[in-house]
Amino acid sequence: MVKVVKFGGSSLASAEQFQKVKSIITAEEERRFVVPSAPGKRHPADTKVTDLLYQCYALAELGHPFDKQLAEIKTRYQDIIDGLKLSVSLDAEFETIREKFAAGIGKDYAASRGEYLNGILLANYLGYAFLDPAEYIIFTDAGVFDGEKTNRVLSARLSTMENAVIPGFYGSMPNGRIKTFSRGGSDITGSIVARAVRANLYENWTDVSGFLVADPRIVEDPEAIETITYRELRELSYMGAGVLHEEAIFPVRSAGIPINIKNTNAPEDAGTFIVESTSRKPRHIITGIAGKKGFTSINIEKDMMNSEIGFGRKVLTAFEANGISFEHMPSGIDTLTVFVHQSEFEEKEQSVLADLHRLAKPDSIEIETDFALIAVVGRAMKAKWGTAAKIFTALHKASINVKMIDQGSSEQNIIIGVRNHDFEEAIRSIYNSFVFE
């Protein structure tokens, strides 16, 4: 058995957190490959080291003094070194960083130092080898992650190692420039490493005990999700359920490796298993509920639309031409509605309308704003009757007006459009009706 363990920023924010991490790693021999994030927040008002690095580099780029900011970052690491009584010194590393910042090395290099330095400390503390991902996580000249090449190079290297610490979040391009993933990207590195060593499990350690059925800022003390499929997770994270970087599922998914989200501060909690498919039934018909506010609907009417071949294409061309992606497109006989992100649409509104008139020649167009979309997701829905009835009964009892309904063709989700101001209440009423049935 081989497990890859990735620890998020809050799991490695202080010496005390490092101690928890070490006892988790040493508790199981299988936990051989470790992917750390940069030190995160130690308390809610704290700043992540990654953010400090971006800020510090922004000063350097403008030619302003940045020594004070860099010293602050160094203190974050020194506190960990002192707290763990490590004998390692980062003086030379910080001198290199200062020089490179002054020379305008680039924002990605700057940000990547958070993981790099934390990796050095963690490797030293665990007594594991340190592997710099600059050599093994490969991006193309265009800055696109090269999954196949990385997998070849990384798996060859790791196959000769018993243990290693591989910092998350970055790699490099053929010209040697450091390139990072998008924010939260250490999750992706963990997944890449898991694939490269053909791990049996990818454990992703964070500060919550897995995915929750609903957002705890909306529903009080929601239940945790025990097992979720990749597909369900995609639907939920697309709709705003955080915890794991969206792209982190791809490397392990193709290799059939499950992910277990675990809590560094409560390691005994089972957490959430993310799997390709499962015979395990979710506790409720639904697996989770998530949603987002801030959508606009564009209602397009045209008599005999249903018999006009190519009408949908013309409508969508108007959006495509303006670089706007659409979220949903429910249609009637002579009407078709396109849901888009309000913020994206606002800037290009008049240009889209002009294109719609020119291309599709509708009878009328009506725009409505301030919609929220809620996804009710569950693999068990497909085989069960009454799910929709239950959702809409709950919304009816809460006197919430439903503006749009869309059952995904996977039959694993039902998307509901409501007004922004009904969003929270809608989620609460759906949650209550399934969890306290």
9 near ligand ASP, judged by CB under 6 A: yes
CB of 56 to ligand ASP, least distance (A): 14
Cα–Cα distance for residue pair 54/44, rounded to 1 Å: 19
Q: What are 95-101's contacts with CB under 8 Å, separation 24+? A: 97/70, 98/67, 98/70, 101/56, 101/57, 101/60, 101/66, 101/70
CB of 41 to ligand ASP, least distance (A): 10
183 near ligand ASP, judged by CB under 6 A: yes
In the bound state with ligand ASP, the residue whose beta carbon lies nearer, of 168 and 291, is 168
Residue 369 has φ and ψ, to the nearest 5°, of -115, 180
CB of 10 to ligand ASP, least distance (A): 9
In the bound state with ligand ASP, the residue whose beta carbon lies nearer, of 119 and 168, is 168
The residue of the chain with the least Cβ separation from ligand ASP equals: 186
In the bound state with ligand ASP, the residue whose beta carbon lies nearer, of 50 and 433, is 50
Q: Interface mask (CB under 6 A) for ligand ASP, residues 195-214, using x and -?
A: --------------------
In the bound state with ligand ASP, the residue whose beta carbon lies nearer, of 40 and 378, is 40
Residue 122 has φ and ψ, to the nearest 5°, of -65, -40
Which of the ranges 57-65, 184-192, 354-362, 380-388 carries the binding residues for ligand ASP, by CB under 6 A? 184-192
CB of 187 to ligand ASP, least distance (A): 6
In the bound state with ligand ASP, the residue whose beta carbon lies nearer, of 199 and 248, is 248
Q: Provide DSSP, 40-67.
A: --SSTT---HHHHHHHHHHHHHTT---H
| Nearest of 257, 254, 264, 130 to residue 207 by alpha carbon | 264
> First vs last Cα of the chain: how many Å apart?
40
Q: Which of residues 86-125 bind ligand ASP (CB under 6 A)?
A: 114
Applying CB under 6 A, among 3, 48, 195, 284 the residue interacting with ligand ASP is 48
Applying CB under 6 A, among 10, 11, 172, 186 the residue interacting with ligand ASP is 186
In eight-state DSSP terms, residue 313 is H
# chain residues binding ligand ASP, by CB under 6 A:
13
Applying CB under 6 A, among 11, 14, 50, 264 the residue interacting with ligand ASP is 50
38 near ligand ASP, judged by CB under 6 A: yes
Residue 82 DSSP SS3: helix
In the bound state with ligand ASP, the residue whose beta carbon lies nearer, of 109 and 169, is 169
**Which strand ranges, in their side-by-side order, compose the sheet holding 201-206?**
164-165, 31-36, 3-7, 201-206, 259-263, 272-275, 227-229
190 near ligand ASP, judged by CB under 6 A: no
Q: Given its phi and psi angles, is residue 158 left (phi above 0), alpha (psi -120 to 50 degrees) or beta? A: alpha
| Nearest of 207, 193, 201, 216 to residue 288 by alpha carbon | 216
Cα–Cα distance for residue pair 419/365, rounded to 1 Å: 20
262 near ligand ASP, judged by CB under 6 A: no
Give the relative orientation of helices 107-126 and 91-102 as an angle to the nearest 10 degrees.
170
CB of 210 to ligand ASP, least distance (A): 18
- Residue indicated by tokens 């599922």: 249
Cα–Cα distance for residue pair 380/287, rounded to 1 Å: 8
Q: Interface mask (CB under 6 A) for ligand ASP, residues 379-408, using x and -?
A: ------------------------------
In the bound state with ligand ASP, the residue whose beta carbon lies nearer, of 49 and 154, is 49
| Nearest of 147, 146, 112, 149 to residue 132 by alpha carbon | 112
Q: Interface mask (CB under 6 A) for ligand ASP, residues 141-180, using x and -?
A: ---------------------------xx-----------
34 near ligand ASP, judged by CB under 6 A: no
Q: Which of residues 352-371 bind ligand ASP (CB under 6 A)?
A: none
Applying CB under 6 A, among 10, 37, 260, 413 the residue interacting with ligand ASP is 37
Applying CB under 6 A, among 184, 222, 258, 271 the residue interacting with ligand ASP is 184
| Nearest of 280, 266, 140 to residue 209 by alpha carbon | 266
How far CA 410 is from CA of 212, 225, 235, 279, 381, in Å, comes to 22, 20, 11, 17, 10
Contact residues: ligand ASP, CB under 6 A: 9, 37-38, 48, 50, 114, 168-169, 183-187
